[in-house]
Amino acid sequence: MRLVERLLRFVSYSLRIRRIEYRVAEIPILLIPVFLTITDVNVFRLWTFWEGVIIFFLMFAFGDLVNCLADRDLDAVYKPKLTEAVYGLGLNNVRWQAGLSAVAALALAVDLSIRTQRWLLLPGTLLGLVTAYVYSVPPIRLKGRGLWQLAFYWLGLFVSPMSFSAFVVADNPPWETYAVALAYGWVQTGVLLVNTAEDYPEDKHENIQTAIVAMGLQMGIFVASLIALSGTCVLLSVICGVFASRHVPSMAWLGIVPLGVATIGTNASILSLATRIRRKELPDAITTVKRSARFVPAWITSVALATLVAALVAHFARRT
């Protein structure tokens, strides 16, 4: 019985530090560019596609493992379950899990590159792993490099993974795949800034120069609202352009409605937060931000799923 309990605890802790709660929002990151790129759903029957999927999630898992390991003491107060999992598994165990994830991703990337003759997939995988590592680990630690954190969010978490998944299914993905990836990533970068702001007092105390610490809490949330709003305008424009270029039937344009609702709701919430904390004293502003940050997963997921719906409609309703 003890062996079973230890095994269950190992599995539970291992899943916890892989932040599986984020998988719901990561699936659209994988599938949006796929449906904007492919012309035949038979691609889902190919082993090469599923090999790419495994690599995709191994890279995200590696980043989560390294982040939990690097921030194990910082998380002790406000994210104690992550710290408990890291120390429950043991530091070397977590290192081994991260290392094996990286090796498995690279090995599969070699095989996938050979099978598809798409040689950018291997350096792309290596770059993704290195970027995930330097985000959390000194001496570079991008999360503590001020506005460089924004570049990581935009390019590292969204644009690059979306480009990778497009290359898994095509030699030359269409322009709209890149355009949607850039705009979508910019919207979600604004949302993630609010999530970063939740940790403002802890990061400030530990002298971690996140983007929010560099800009200040009030200014950081204001910038987050500008990023999300500008990204939304571009994303909706690009999606409309995709629908028009593919001659999507009139009724199918309703597929954009969920995206409009999700982005309007998200932007309204972030703008409201920026307005409410603008003239508040810092302690009150911190409390307000922490209260609002609880909705970040809902904002991210709603925009992600709504964009996926639009990509699905653009694929299945296209006439050209």
Q: Which two tokens stand for residue 279?
A: 């003239």
User: Between residues 151 and 22, which one has the greater pLDDT?
Assistant: 151
- Return the biggest CA–CA distance within the chain: 62
Question: Averaged over 197-212, what is the pLDDT?
Answer: 88
The whole-model pTM stands at: 0.93
Give the pLDDT mean for 261-287. 94
87-118 residue pLDDT tens: 999 999 999 999 999 999 999 999 999 999 99
Residue 222 to residue 227: CA distance in whole angstroms:
9
Name which residue leads in pLDDT, 158 or 205: 158
Tens of pLDDT, residue by residue over 147-197, are 999 999 999 999 999 999 999 999 999 999 999 999 999 999 999 999 999
C-alpha span between 214 and 217 (Å, rounded): 9
Mean pLDDT of the chain: 94
The residue-averaged pLDDT of 72-76 equals: 83
- What sign for the dihedral angle of Cα 223, 224, 226, 231? positive
* pLDDT confidence bin for 22, thresholds 50/70/90: confident
